[in-house]
Structure 1
């Protein structure tokens, strides 16, 4: 489902063609008017594994939340800055120790290559 929605809004690669030394990608996506408003998801059709088309809202639950507005990079790698407010304030060292000893090792295990 996710791939179908992404392809509809950002384009699915239909063809690659070489022109001299350049490669041209042809992408297929929804018309601009249908991509402008998130409310168009209500009319978006998904093709099931059986080949049947059903409305997206019949098979998913949509929850609107805040998303990243930009991708920051350092030395070509994505960087995410995380901040926190700790109550009581004298617990900061305990929280940082927990992050270093428990949370970060688990993240590195779940997502190899994370530094």
Structure 2
């Protein structure tokens, strides 16, 4: 169950990073709404991370959380923010995903 909580926390990390990207692109009321989304997503992500680390090893949980956030944020950047796509970016995203899966497989919990 805590692995599911950790994955959801990672998805909220993607959400807060994406909101931060939108804050930088907007102004006025829209900017403040995206900033509110950033604060809410950040809070939920941190609370879920805290909950997950109550039973999962902190090193593994943090690495998986940041990995999900990194991969998700890169993909959001590519699909929604028009970030560049190259062989090496995709290659290292794939190796990061493989590392996250590896940490889950070798975790004792």
TM-score by length of 1: 0.26
Q: Which has the higher helix share?
A: 2
TM-score by length of 2: 0.27
